[in-house]
Amino acid sequence: MIKPFIASDLREVSPLVLAYIGDAVYEVYARCHASIYGAGNNNKLHKRTIRYVSAESQAEISRQLMDELTETETDYFRRGKNSNPHASSKNASHADYMYATGFEALIGYLFMDNQESRMEYLIQRSFEIADGIKPINVNGFEDSTGDE
C-alpha cells in the first residue's frame, strides 16, 4: 500500500492528523466488515457501519480495549484523546468524542507505522466489542426495529 511520508518520527505528527488518517482507515475496514452482513441494502449497510464508527461506539470500544494496549499505543491514544479538535459531534458527548478521537489517533499511528497486523487485530477486536453493544440508529437512539 502506498503511504505518504508525513514525518520520520510519528511523535512529531499532530494527534489530530493521526486521528484524521485513522478515521479514514477505520471507516474502510468498518464498511468492508458491515458488507459481510448483507450486501445490496444500503440502509442496512449504513446502520451496521454506524455501529462501528459512531463516537459513542468508538468510546466504548476504547474503554474496553485499554487493557490490551501496549504502553506506546496507550500514549498515542492519550495524545489523541487529550488533543484539542476544532469540531465536535452533534450525536455524542464531549467525553465520548474525545475517546473516539483517541481511538482514531491510535489506528492512524498503527497504520502510518506499518503495524498492519496489530492494527487489524485491534480493529477486529473493536468489531467484536461493537457487535456486543446494543445497536443504535443514525440519530443516536437505540434501534428498536431489530433491522440491523
Residues classed as catalytic: 23
* Amino acid residing at 78: R
Main-chain dihedrals φ then ψ at residue 21, nearest 5 degrees: -70, -45
Residue showing cell 464498511: 31
Cell of residue 103, nine digits: 481511538
